[in-house]
Amino acid sequence: MNTLTHVSVFTRFLLSLASLLAGSAWAQVQLDTPRGGWRATPSQQQDFLQEVHYPAASVNTLGRSESALIKGRIAQAAQAKTEGPRKPGTLVVDGIAIPLEIGPDGQFARPWSFGAGAHGVTVRGPGSHGASQRSQFIEANPGRARVRLRVVLSWNSDNTDLDLHVVSPDGQHVFFGNRVVPNGGALDVDVTTGFGPEIFAHPAPPPGLWHVYVNYYGAGDLRDDLSVAQVAIIEQEGTLQEKQQTFRVPLRKPGELTLVRSFLVR
Protein backbone atom coordinates (compact mmCIF):
# COMPACT_ATOMS: atom_id res chain seq x y z
CA MET A 1 0.00 0.00 0.00
CA ASN A 2 1.52 3.34 -1.01
CA THR A 3 1.49 6.44 1.20
CA LEU A 4 -1.37 8.12 -0.69
CA THR A 5 -3.62 5.09 -0.35
CA HIS A 6 -2.73 4.78 3.34
CA VAL A 7 -3.71 8.42 3.96
CA SER A 8 -6.97 7.95 2.03
CA VAL A 9 -7.95 4.89 4.08
CA PHE A 10 -7.05 6.66 7.32
CA THR A 11 -9.12 9.72 6.30
CA ARG A 12 -12.14 7.55 5.54
CA PHE A 13 -11.71 5.88 8.93
CA LEU A 14 -11.70 9.26 10.70
CA LEU A 15 -14.78 10.41 8.80
CA SER A 16 -16.61 7.20 9.65
CA LEU A 17 -15.65 7.54 13.30
CA ALA A 18 -16.85 11.15 13.40
CA SER A 19 -20.14 10.14 11.80
CA LEU A 20 -20.57 7.32 14.31
CA LEU A 21 -19.89 9.62 17.25
CA ALA A 22 -22.28 12.24 15.92
CA GLY A 23 -24.98 9.62 15.46
CA SER A 24 -24.39 8.34 18.98
CA ALA A 25 -24.70 11.86 20.42
CA TRP A 26 -27.93 12.43 18.48
CA ALA A 27 -29.32 9.16 19.80
CA GLN A 28 -28.49 10.25 23.35
CA VAL A 29 -30.19 13.66 23.00
CA GLN A 30 -33.25 13.87 20.78
CA LEU A 31 -34.51 17.40 20.14
CA ASP A 32 -37.97 17.07 18.58
CA THR A 33 -38.71 20.78 18.43
CA PRO A 34 -37.62 23.35 17.43
CA ARG A 35 -36.21 21.88 14.25
CA GLY A 36 -33.56 23.56 12.16
CA GLY A 37 -34.38 25.60 9.09
CA TRP A 38 -37.11 28.11 8.28
CA ARG A 39 -40.56 28.29 9.82
CA ALA A 40 -43.47 30.74 9.92
CA THR A 41 -45.48 30.60 13.15
CA PRO A 42 -48.96 32.23 13.22
CA SER A 43 -48.81 35.73 14.68
CA GLN A 44 -51.90 35.32 16.83
CA GLN A 45 -50.70 32.19 18.63
CA GLN A 46 -50.64 32.38 22.42
CA ASP A 47 -47.16 31.13 23.13
CA PHE A 48 -46.07 30.82 26.65
CA LEU A 49 -48.71 31.79 29.22
CA GLN A 50 -49.30 28.54 31.08
CA GLU A 51 -52.07 27.33 33.33
CA VAL A 52 -50.85 26.92 36.91
CA HIS A 53 -52.11 24.30 39.35
CA TYR A 54 -51.42 24.97 43.03
CA PRO A 55 -50.00 24.11 45.52
CA ALA A 56 -47.21 22.74 43.31
CA ALA A 57 -46.53 23.23 39.62
CA SER A 58 -43.89 21.94 37.31
CA VAL A 59 -43.82 23.42 33.84
CA ASN A 60 -47.19 22.77 32.22
CA THR A 61 -47.13 22.27 28.45
CA LEU A 62 -50.65 20.93 27.86
CA GLY A 63 -52.32 22.36 24.79
CA ARG A 64 -49.25 24.22 23.57
CA SER A 65 -48.40 24.41 19.90
CA GLU A 66 -45.26 22.59 18.77
CA SER A 67 -43.76 25.91 17.70
CA ALA A 68 -44.06 27.25 21.26
CA LEU A 69 -42.19 24.34 22.84
CA ILE A 70 -38.67 23.08 23.31
CA LYS A 71 -39.07 19.36 23.78
CA GLY A 72 -37.38 16.01 23.28
CA ARG A 73 -35.73 13.19 25.18
CA ILE A 74 -32.35 12.54 26.80
CA ALA A 75 -31.68 8.80 26.72
CA GLN A 76 -28.77 8.88 29.15
CA ALA A 77 -31.01 10.54 31.78
CA ALA A 78 -33.63 7.81 31.40
CA GLN A 79 -30.99 5.08 31.72
CA ALA A 80 -29.16 6.61 34.68
CA LYS A 81 -29.81 4.92 38.02
CA THR A 82 -28.70 7.35 40.67
CA GLU A 83 -29.65 7.85 44.28
CA GLY A 84 -30.99 11.17 45.48
CA PRO A 85 -32.44 14.02 43.40
CA ARG A 86 -32.30 13.68 39.62
CA LYS A 87 -29.68 15.95 38.06
CA PRO A 88 -30.94 18.47 35.51
CA GLY A 89 -29.72 18.85 31.99
CA THR A 90 -28.78 22.20 30.47
CA LEU A 91 -30.84 24.25 28.05
CA VAL A 92 -29.15 27.08 26.14
CA VAL A 93 -31.48 29.44 24.26
CA ASP A 94 -29.90 32.26 22.27
CA GLY A 95 -26.88 32.24 24.57
CA ILE A 96 -28.75 31.99 27.90
CA ALA A 97 -27.94 28.76 29.79
CA ILE A 98 -30.45 27.45 32.34
CA PRO A 99 -31.08 24.11 34.11
CA LEU A 100 -33.45 21.76 32.29
CA GLU A 101 -35.70 19.50 34.36
CA ILE A 102 -35.84 15.97 32.95
CA GLY A 103 -38.57 13.43 33.66
CA PRO A 104 -37.90 9.86 34.85
CA ASP A 105 -38.33 8.63 31.27
CA GLY A 106 -35.82 11.18 29.97
CA GLN A 107 -38.50 13.43 28.44
CA PHE A 108 -38.31 17.22 28.67
CA ALA A 109 -40.62 20.00 27.50
CA ARG A 110 -40.34 23.74 28.04
CA PRO A 111 -42.56 26.52 26.64
CA TRP A 112 -40.65 29.34 24.96
CA SER A 113 -41.84 32.33 22.96
CA PHE A 114 -39.65 32.96 19.91
CA GLY A 115 -39.87 36.28 18.10
CA ALA A 116 -39.04 36.90 14.46
CA GLY A 117 -35.43 36.31 13.43
CA ALA A 118 -32.65 33.76 13.99
CA HIS A 119 -32.49 31.54 17.07
CA GLY A 120 -30.26 28.80 18.46
CA VAL A 121 -31.24 26.08 20.95
CA THR A 122 -28.83 23.58 22.54
CA VAL A 123 -29.79 20.76 24.91
CA ARG A 124 -27.13 18.96 26.96
CA GLY A 125 -27.50 15.90 29.14
CA PRO A 126 -26.60 15.90 32.85
CA GLY A 127 -22.95 16.05 33.87
CA SER A 128 -19.91 17.74 32.43
CA HIS A 129 -19.60 15.15 29.64
CA GLY A 130 -23.28 14.91 28.73
CA ALA A 131 -24.21 14.46 25.08
CA SER A 132 -25.74 17.47 23.34
CA GLN A 133 -27.94 18.39 20.42
CA ARG A 134 -28.30 21.80 18.75
CA SER A 135 -30.93 23.35 16.50
CA GLN A 136 -30.64 26.62 14.59
CA PHE A 137 -33.69 28.07 12.91
CA ILE A 138 -35.20 31.28 11.56
CA GLU A 139 -38.67 32.45 12.53
CA ALA A 140 -39.67 33.87 9.16
CA ASN A 141 -43.04 35.42 10.03
CA PRO A 142 -42.33 39.19 10.24
CA GLY A 143 -45.58 39.62 12.16
CA ARG A 144 -44.19 37.77 15.15
CA ALA A 145 -43.54 40.36 17.84
CA ARG A 146 -39.98 40.51 19.10
CA VAL A 147 -39.46 40.38 22.85
CA ARG A 148 -37.87 43.72 23.70
CA LEU A 149 -37.38 42.82 27.35
CA ARG A 150 -36.99 39.31 28.73
CA VAL A 151 -36.09 38.36 32.31
CA VAL A 152 -35.26 34.70 32.99
CA LEU A 153 -35.01 33.29 36.52
CA SER A 154 -33.48 29.85 37.11
CA TRP A 155 -31.84 28.25 40.13
CA ASN A 156 -29.62 25.33 41.03
CA SER A 157 -31.71 23.34 43.53
CA ASP A 158 -34.47 20.76 43.24
CA ASN A 159 -37.67 20.79 45.32
CA THR A 160 -37.38 24.50 46.05
CA ASP A 161 -39.58 27.44 45.11
CA LEU A 162 -38.08 30.73 44.00
CA ASP A 163 -40.29 33.47 42.58
CA LEU A 164 -39.56 36.20 40.06
CA HIS A 165 -40.96 39.68 40.73
CA VAL A 166 -40.71 42.45 38.12
CA VAL A 167 -41.84 46.04 38.78
CA SER A 168 -42.21 48.37 35.80
CA PRO A 169 -41.81 52.19 35.79
CA ASP A 170 -45.60 52.67 35.79
CA GLY A 171 -45.93 50.66 39.01
CA GLN A 172 -47.15 47.37 37.51
CA HIS A 173 -45.98 44.41 39.63
CA VAL A 174 -45.69 41.06 37.84
CA PHE A 175 -45.35 37.92 39.98
CA PHE A 176 -47.05 34.53 40.43
CA GLY A 177 -50.21 36.18 41.79
CA ASN A 178 -50.44 38.78 39.00
CA ARG A 179 -48.98 37.18 35.90
CA VAL A 180 -50.43 39.47 33.19
CA VAL A 181 -50.54 43.26 33.53
CA PRO A 182 -52.29 45.95 31.44
CA ASN A 183 -49.08 47.43 30.02
CA GLY A 184 -48.37 44.19 28.10
CA GLY A 185 -45.94 42.35 30.37
CA ALA A 186 -46.47 38.72 31.38
CA LEU A 187 -44.92 35.93 33.47
CA ASP A 188 -45.07 32.53 31.77
CA VAL A 189 -45.50 30.09 34.67
CA ASP A 190 -44.91 29.76 38.41
CA VAL A 191 -42.55 26.81 38.91
CA THR A 192 -42.62 25.58 42.52
CA THR A 193 -40.71 22.29 42.22
CA GLY A 194 -37.15 23.44 41.57
CA PHE A 195 -34.77 24.71 38.87
CA GLY A 196 -37.29 26.94 37.06
CA PRO A 197 -37.14 28.76 34.79
CA GLU A 198 -39.68 31.52 35.24
CA ILE A 199 -39.73 34.01 32.37
CA PHE A 200 -41.06 37.55 32.18
CA ALA A 201 -41.45 38.97 28.68
CA HIS A 202 -42.57 42.31 27.26
CA PRO A 203 -42.86 43.29 23.56
CA ALA A 204 -42.80 47.06 24.25
CA PRO A 205 -41.50 47.85 27.75
CA PRO A 206 -42.37 51.34 29.05
CA PRO A 207 -39.30 53.57 29.41
CA GLY A 208 -38.03 54.31 32.89
CA LEU A 209 -36.62 52.50 35.91
CA TRP A 210 -37.34 48.76 36.21
CA HIS A 211 -36.73 46.57 39.27
CA VAL A 212 -36.15 42.80 39.38
CA TYR A 213 -36.52 40.88 42.65
CA VAL A 214 -36.21 37.22 43.61
CA ASN A 215 -38.10 35.75 46.57
CA TYR A 216 -37.07 32.47 48.23
CA TYR A 217 -40.65 31.30 48.77
CA GLY A 218 -40.14 27.79 50.13
CA ALA A 219 -37.92 24.73 50.30
CA GLY A 220 -40.07 21.82 51.47
CA ASP A 221 -38.03 19.72 53.87
CA LEU A 222 -34.75 21.32 52.73
CA ARG A 223 -34.96 24.24 55.13
CA ASP A 224 -31.24 24.88 55.38
CA ASP A 225 -30.33 24.42 51.72
CA LEU A 226 -28.61 27.29 49.96
CA SER A 227 -30.08 28.08 46.54
CA VAL A 228 -28.25 30.15 43.96
CA ALA A 229 -30.56 32.14 41.71
CA GLN A 230 -29.50 33.14 38.22
CA VAL A 231 -31.28 36.09 36.62
CA ALA A 232 -30.67 36.90 32.96
CA ILE A 233 -31.92 40.24 31.62
CA ILE A 234 -32.10 40.55 27.84
CA GLU A 235 -32.94 43.86 26.19
CA GLN A 236 -33.68 44.42 22.49
CA GLU A 237 -33.59 40.67 21.87
CA GLY A 238 -32.73 39.60 18.35
CA THR A 239 -31.46 43.01 17.21
CA LEU A 240 -28.01 44.51 16.71
CA GLN A 241 -28.60 46.43 19.94
CA GLU A 242 -29.23 43.28 22.00
CA LYS A 243 -27.81 43.44 25.52
CA GLN A 244 -27.55 40.47 27.88
CA GLN A 245 -26.71 40.66 31.58
CA THR A 246 -26.55 37.71 33.97
CA PHE A 247 -26.54 37.93 37.76
CA ARG A 248 -26.15 35.19 40.38
CA VAL A 249 -27.52 35.67 43.88
CA PRO A 250 -27.21 33.23 46.83
CA LEU A 251 -30.43 32.78 48.82
CA ARG A 252 -30.06 31.16 52.22
CA LYS A 253 -33.52 30.72 53.72
CA PRO A 254 -37.22 30.82 52.79
CA GLY A 255 -38.76 34.27 53.09
CA GLU A 256 -35.68 36.07 51.79
CA LEU A 257 -36.45 38.80 49.22
CA THR A 258 -33.53 40.20 47.22
CA LEU A 259 -33.37 43.11 44.80
CA VAL A 260 -31.26 41.67 41.98
CA ARG A 261 -31.13 44.61 39.61
CA SER A 262 -32.58 48.03 38.89
CA PHE A 263 -32.06 49.28 35.34
CA LEU A 264 -33.24 51.95 32.92
CA VAL A 265 -35.15 51.23 29.74
CA ARG A 266 -34.88 54.17 27.35
Q: Is residue 68 part of a domain?
A: yes
Is residue 218 a part of any domain in this protein? yes
Is residue 4 a part of any domain in this protein? Answer: no
Residue at 3 is within a domain: no
Burial of 145 (0-12, 13-18, 19+ CB in 10 A): middle
Q: Which domain holds residue 228?
A: 28-265
Residue 83: per-residue pLDDT: 59
- Give dist(CA 219, CA 228) in Å, integer: 13
On whether residue 100 sits in a domain, the answer given is: yes
Interatomic CA distance for residues 29 and 23, integer angstroms? 10
pLDDT digits (tens, 9 = 90+) for 125-171: 998 677 899 999 999 988 888 899 999 999 998 888 999 999 999 99
111 domain residue, yes or no:
yes
117 lies in some domain: yes
Number of domains forming the structure of the chain = 1
pTM comes to 0.81
Collect the ranges in the chain with pLDDT lower than 50.
Answer: 3-7, 9-11, 13-26, 44-46, 48-63
**Number of separate helices (H) and strands (E) present in the chain:** 2, 17
Is residue 7 one of the residues assigned to a domain?
A: no
Predicted pLDDT at 5? 45
